Amino acid sequence: MFELDHLENGVRTLVSHNGDAPSATALVMFGVGSRFEQAQQCGIAHFAEHMFFKGTERRPTARDISVEIDGIGGDFNAFTGKEYTGYYVKSAAEHLDLAVDVLGDMLLHSKFDGEEIEREKGVILEEMAMYRDLPQRYVGNVYDHLLYGDTPLGWDIVGTEDVIRGATPELFHSFIDRWYTANRVVVGLAGNVSESAKAKVAEAFSAIPAANEGTRAAAEWSQDGPKVQVHYKESEQAHLLLGVRAPGLDSPDRYAIGVMNAILGGGMSSRLFTEVRERRGLCYYVYSHHDAYVDAGSLVVAAGVDTNRIDLAITTILEELAKLADDGPDQAEFTKAKNYLKGKFVLGVEDPRGLIMFGARREVVEGGFWEPAQALAAIDAVSIADVQRVAKELFNTEQRNLAVVGPYEDAERFEKLLSPATATA
């Protein structure tokens, strides 16, 4: 399904051709994100993502760029994570050459004009304020800082006000010139891909600077007991993340953790949704996810709960974790969880954009793409014994972590709920 090739400068190209598809997607993904920043650059990876849309010599303004993509009815966006950054255009297949040309022009020839940077600072600062006002989102920042502390994995992707306010063209170039190099780029094409589009990729991206040395900051953490961090905010609902440290993407247990996670908090028939919301009415939303980087991760339960019943919500979640570790899943829910994962995966890669996102992200972050069939086979290979084993390994009472955003100032009350004595009572 995928064809991997290399340009002379080392840029990888990943192509999935479907001649019957009416659309196509061009994606440029860099194996670089906020995890690669130093303290004085905190937020610059995300800020740079914004600035790549602000004008080149050929397309001097942001409007000039957007007019070209709007003129073909294209879907045009970008995203910044901690380990990767992506830029894409999805369009009718006949316009794929233009999509590639626009992306190449943006990513190799953006001006990073000082006046544009100053204007965009206000946008970034407002984005930062918006996230602070969204407790369901902001609790993730609190949790990351709790786990990883004052390290790149613990910092907010959007950055700090001081860095954003002080950003200069030189600061952008110090980051981009260091990390946006050929060895960290995958250019992906999917859908009805023409030979001319492939040629356009070679033309546009052969100018990316050659490889250099260096990698992301190592994951650092230590923990000898439960940890809690509370962010005070007057609200009618409390938002919490309750989790344990878990292996990252490099672990052979990643798919066993995925099946376990689906049983625990995937969908409206999961254990957590059934018990915490439907039976006890303690929350509006509750789900779990494996928040995984290459070499570190966490299995996290997220919930928005009644502020007066938060203690009961926490203890109920802990009881569900313990039950899964002690008893494992039954055959019916185990089968359902695997079918749930496979179904979600198939739906995610059924269109060109989802498919190339899957392939390119795996290639650029993990150093090797998988075909969709390999991912489905990996889910199938998980056994009930695997699920119970990883549950027992992960749900260790000494490794619990809780982040809360709500009308509370006392972290100690929550620490008591996470203690081993409470867990075994």
57 flagged as catalytic:
no
Parse the chain into domains and list their residue ranges: 3-205, 227-424
Tokens of 22: 């009416």
Q: Which pLDDT belongs to residue 399?
A: 84
Q: Is there a shared CATH topology between the 3-205 domain and the 227-424 domain? A: yes
At 424 the pLDDT is: 42
- The answer to whether the beta carbons of residues 159 and 46 sit under 8 Å apart is yes
What is the rounded CA–CA span in Å between residue 310 and residue 297?
A: 25
**Predicted pLDDT of residue 52:** 98
Q: What is the pLDDT of residue 126?
A: 97
Span 3-205: which CATH code?
3.30.830.10
Strand order in the sheet with 23-30: 3-6, 12-17, 185-191, 23-30, 85-92, 75-80
User: pLDDT at position 425, please?
Assistant: 36
What does the alpha-carbon distance between residue 174 and residue 54 come to, in Å, rounded to a whole number? 18
Which residues of the chain fall below pLDDT 70?
420-425
Look at the domain 227-424 and name its fold: Cytochrome Bc1 Complex; Chain A, domain 1 (3.30.830)
Query: SS3 string of 29-86?
Result: EECCCHHHCCHHHCCHHHHHHHHCCCCECCCCCHHHHHHHHHCCCCEEEEEECCCCEE
Give residue 210's pLDDT: 84
Angle in degrees, 0-180, between the axes of helices 96-109 and 62-70, rounded to the nearest 10? 170
Which one is catalytic: 37, 49, 83, 320? 49
> CA–CA distance from 416 to each of 208, 226, 298, 410, 419 (Å)?
54, 9, 21, 11, 5
Tally of CB atoms within 10 A around 220:
13
Q: Say what the pTM is.
A: 0.94
Give residue-wise pLDDT tens across range 93-120.
999 999 999 999 999 999 999 999 999 9
Around Cβ 89, how many Cβ atoms within 10 Å? 26
CA distance linking residue 101 with residue 196, whole number of Å: 11
At what angle are helices 169-179 and 114-132 packed, to 10 degrees?
Answer: 80
Strand blocks (E) in 277-369: 283-292, 297-306
Question: For position 396, what pLDDT does the model report?
Answer: 75
For helices 384-394 and 310-327, angle between their N-to-C axes, nearest 10 degrees: 130
